[in-house]
Amino acid sequence: AALALLGGSVAALVVWKWLGRKMIQKKMEEARRTRDEGMKKMARAVQQFREQVPSVQTDAILSLPLLELTGRLQEGSLSPRTVLYTYLEKALEVTQQTNCLRHFIPECEEQLQEIQRHKEKGLLYGIPVSIKDHIGHKGHLATCGLVRCLGTLVEEDSVLVKVLKRQGAIPFAMTNVPQSLFSYDCSNPIFGRTLNPLNPQKSPGGSSGGEGALIAGGGSVLGIGSDVAGSIRLPSSFCGLCGLKPTAERLRRVGWCLAHPSAQCGFLLWSHPVPCAVGPMARDVDSLALCMKALLCQEMFQLDPTVPPIPFNEQVYSSSSPLRVGYYDTDGYFPLPPCMRRAVQETRRALQAAGHQLVRFSPPRIPYVMTELFLKAFYADGGRAWLDVFTGDIVDPGLKSQVNSCKMPRLVKKLLALLLKPLVTIPPLLKDVAVISTCRSVKEVWNHHHQIQVYRSQFITRWKELQLDVVLCPVLGPAFTTGYPGKLLTAISSTMLYNVLNFPAGVVPVSSVTEADEEELKLYQGCCDDPWDRRLKQAVSGAVGLPVAVQCVALPWQEELCLRFMKEVETLSRDK
């Protein structure tokens, strides 16, 4: 009888799990069907516009930099309607190639009518803007790639969307993201994998990967992403774009609708001492500056009192005075491919030749920052809060190794750490999330917060001692082959450092991978020639012609100086 009861219970459990999985599949299929119907609706609208206005010079409009495009729209030589439908058509083409869009925003046609009723034209008048999946837009989903978020529509525009609209912008598309946003690849079980438009074998990066792919493919002129470990800067690096991660509080939380289920991901990103930042992505630095100038307005400060009322300082951005620039081409934790170090050295020489003062700078204790400060912030509870967001969901293949690591019992993790230790030449270089220590008490959590503040203070002291204005340093790249970001979580040390420090940091493309770089890569051994170093080598191989970028950094609240430095780097790279 006991065996029969046990057998019945097991059978019931199997059936219950099967039914649950069928329900998940049904929800995902419905979400995909809704997306596809939205695409078809937009395609019909574009076709209708094409029939009404057959003589549009599409390529000429798409090639205009944002500043020129805004000028043409402000003076009236281009109409917002023409620009919107031109970008809608191009976005449809790009997403067919890359799967970068999660959804079109049909209300863009209403916003088109609305801006023409305004007495004053905002700074972004008539500009189509794409936004990352989780940035709240009224009447739409904010999914974070999770099934649990599919049933609830956002009830009102987030502050960021409200301000964009007030400045005359037209949000027209929401872009794809990796599941839970905790990845620098771009894939989720609902909407699938996004590809890099420059090479479909490569990832666009993440978590703002849909934005990266859409803008790099020419389907958007300005996008909004978010960054907690490089999620704006890595897609910018992989896709050859400019991207800015501001000081987190400069545009604090303005993308999130905190009453929505997706806010659980937001809670994970905002409630620990390494904060998430919202920022712009575009094809050039002037576009980023214009976006920041538009967002940092009275409307923003009134709608969100937690945003400090500091308008954009045009004088700092426009300055041409020589800069004192700290630089390094490796952080001593995860040595980057030869082309990324070459980019820093070439940029250093160009800056020096242009009259700037260059000073060697070494960021202190990166292995400690990576394992004890950054990763411990995310996995302080052993990853349990993060695992909760996957309840009733299918885990994306790219996240399975991280999820499985978090599910391991603490004793198993300790044993694994002992077994892995002989593979690592330098003990602090623990490159697997399975061996990250957790905070075992509230006192340890508070101590961890304190350690981050102490490190920030020490870093700023070193910066001040050298009297630096800005820092030039590498960024992870070139674009990884799809699937590899999930196997190399700890390769993001170059970007994560400035999330821990909460410094503004931006990425500028300056070169491309050469045949010589590819040959030199064959000799790459990383730090220890360990399995992670060899994996990195595999991830970036076959990248000839893909963009190579550098990272530009300033002290907190100095976004304008960071952008001014980025502009200088951009100008010098184009003059080569």
List 130, 180, 207, 287, catalytic entry: 207
Question: Would you say 228 is a known binding-site residue?
Answer: yes
236 part of the active site: no
Q: Is 411 annotated as a binding residue?
A: no
Residues 6+ apart with CB under 8 A from 517: 337, 338, 339, 342, 543, 544, 548
CA distance linking residue 107 with residue 38, whole number of Å: 11
- Residue 91 assigned ligand-binding role: no
Active site residue 231: yes
Phi and psi angles of residue 103, each rounded to the nearest 5 degrees, phi first? -170, 145
181 annotated to a ligand binding site? yes
Give the integer Cα–Cα distance in Å for 143 and 123: 30
Whether 576 sits among the annotated catalytic residues: the reply is no
Among the listed residues 132, 162, 245, 413, the single catalytic one is 132
Instruction: State how far the Cα of 440 lies from the Cα of 94, in Å rounded to an integer.
Output: 47
Q: What six digits make up the tokens of 241?
A: 């774009």
| Residue 271, marked binder | no
**561 is annotated as contributing to ligand binding:** no
Alpha helices in 257-319 (DSSP H): 263-270, 285-295, 298-303, 314-318
> Burial of 358 by CB count in 10 Å (0-12 exposed, 13-18 middle, 19+ buried)?
middle
Please state, as a whole number, how many other Cβ atoms lie within 10 Å of the Cβ of residue 306: 10
Identify the active-site residue in 231, 237, 405, 493.
231
User: Strand 277-282 to strand 222-227: parallel, antiparallel, or no bridges (unpaired)?
Assistant: antiparallel
Taking CA atoms, 486 is separated from 172, 183, 250, 263, 491, in Å, by: 30, 7, 30, 23, 10
Identify which of 369, 405, 370 has the alpha carbon closest to the alpha carbon of residue 386. 405
Active site (catalytic) residues: 132, 207, 231
Residues of each annotated binding site for substrate:
181, 207, 228-231
